[in-house]
Amino acid sequence: MSNTVTRIRLAVAAAASIAVLAGCSSPAPSGNASAASCAPATGKVTLQYWNTVPGMDQVVALWNKENPNIQVQTKNISNDQYGTIGNALKAGKAPDLAQVGYDELPDLRTQNAFVDASACSAATAAKSDFVPWTWSQTSFGGTGVYAFPQDTGPMALYVRTDIFKKYGVAIPTTWDEYAADAQKLHKADPKLDITYFDPNNAEWFNGLLWQNNAEMYNYSGGKWQVSVTSAQSKQVADYWQKLISDKLVRTDLANGSTQMYAAFQKNEIATSVGAAWGYSMMRDNLPSQAGKWSIVPMPTWGSSAASGDWGGSTVAFMKGSTHLYESVKFNTWLNTNPEALALENKLGGLYPAATAGSKLPALSQGVPYYNNEKIFDVFAAASKKIDTSFSWGPTQKTVNLALQDAMAKATAGNGTLSDALTAAQASALKSMKDLAIPAAAGK
């Protein structure tokens, strides 16, 4: 859910230490936790866990009731997630555990924000409990354990089936069909658009790139290869640019905004390209449209069955924690225990990264709001079709800001989305150079 929170760029010290630079110049671990650091405490322990998930206090209360010697205090930091974490790191007062988005892990790692929990056997053993691609995002080059995956955002298409039925338009299965449907729907009703394009949501756009196997970063030969402007990326950008230029999608709506829900309520938007965690947002904000929405697989590029991911988070082991053993124990329960996972899904809309999540009764039954359809089967199938080799760059936050700025200009008629990719590529190379991270333009 962190992708719906306003992202505040964390300041990076100009005079970074040699240790930090060494940590961010390659996928190697930035720090090692000693075996002694995983020794159990001799008395009662209180952990600090910061997150942005609605209802997480109730999940933590369940743990506290059952674990009197390891108590957890939770703090919701959704108003300024990364600003709050950044300030705490500077002050040396970071919590034991914090919710961190997959795309934010490399950026925070450049600030030496994490502790390696691999000294704890329970931490390394947890690898088999999670969907493979999520674990690969948290271990950095296959070494170290800096976080446990919490939730994912496999993408799918939210569809107003009544609107498609009204105008006799078939639900699309490919992006070519989606573009054709956009024209048909808009012609049938000039006030109706097939969807909206949010220029201030780089994470969503990155999910579209991910689906098309647009690998933006690769690390080889001691250097980052940056290929934000790859042919696959440009294909996605050009596709959406044409929809925007032809005025077939809205560009004035922000994801999760009051204006977005108002447009849905007025039957002005026929679909939404969303993630698994969004199912509860529709349910809770558009109750009168129950039974009108369905969730189907994301349109594909030709015969490729690949899907993308938008958002999702980890629970990271933060630098400075003096209770690593207890942190691993709570983190494992929080993200693998069936009762905890079910409550997190019900209250916070989280789609579990744990493999056990697909077996939860709540995720295997029909959902009343969506015509009692088994919507989580769609997301489970999508999750299996996400490219596991996709990785984020070490300055992703800066790159996302540059991408959003250029996309906003493009939707306003100043440049194109392809130009936005060029701006993001330049930002990636410059920001890495500023931090002395070896990087070059890739193919």
User: In one letter, which amino acid is 360?
Assistant: L
Reported as a single tens digit per residue, the pLDDT across 362-378 is: 888 999 999 999 999 99
Half-sphere exposure (CA, 13 Å, Cβ side) for 291? 1
Do residues 269 and 196 make contact, with C-beta atoms less than 8 angstroms apart?
yes
Alpha-carbon span 405 to 402, nearest angstrom: 5
pLDDT value at position 443?
73
Do residues 173 and 297 make contact, with C-beta atoms less than 8 angstroms apart?
yes
Q: What does pTM read for this prediction? A: 0.85
* Ranges in the chain, pLDDT < 70: 1-36, 141
Contacts 24+ apart (CB under 8 A), 171-177: 171/294, 171/296, 172/299, 173/297, 173/299, 173/300, 174/299, 174/300, 174/301, 174/302, 175/239, 175/299, 175/300, 175/301, 177/299
Bridge partners of 148, per DSSP, are 315
Alpha-carbon span 171 to 194, nearest angstrom: 11
Q: Which two tokens stand for residue 315?
A: 């629970």
Alpha-carbon span 274 to 112, nearest angstrom: 33
Reported as a single tens digit per residue, the pLDDT across 34-65 is: 334 799 999 999 999 999 999 999 999 999 99
pLDDT value at position 109?
87
The full set of domains in the chain, from first to last, is 2-152+312-383 (3.40.190.10), 154-308+391-441 (3.40.190.10)
Alpha-carbon span 49 to 331, nearest angstrom: 10
Do residues 321 and 327 make contact, with C-beta atoms less than 8 angstroms apart?
yes
DSSP calls for 17-38: -HHHHHHHSSSS-S----GGGG
Alpha-carbon span 88 to 305, nearest angstrom: 42
Taking alpha carbons only, the member of 426, 419, 438 closest to residue 399 is 426
Alpha-carbon span 264 to 260, nearest angstrom: 6
* 3-state percent breakdown (helix, strand, coil) of the chain, nearest 5: 45, 20, 35
CA angle 251, 281, 174 (to 5 degrees): 55
Cβ contacts of 175 within 8 Å, gap of 6 or more: 239, 299, 300, 301
Q: Please report, in angstroms and rounded to a whole number, the separation of the first and last CA atoms in the chain.
A: 32
Helices first, then strands: H and E counts in the chain: 17, 10
Alpha-carbon span 100 to 229, nearest angstrom: 27
Bridge partners of 312, per DSSP, are 152
Taking alpha carbons only, the member of 358, 277, 380, 342 closest to residue 52 is 277
User: In one letter, which amino acid is 142?
Assistant: G
DSSP calls for 154-196: EEEEEEEHHHHHHTT-PPPSBHHHHHHHHHHHHHH-TT-BS-B
Alpha-carbon span 12 to 434, nearest angstrom: 10
Q: What is the mean pLDDT of the chain?
A: 89
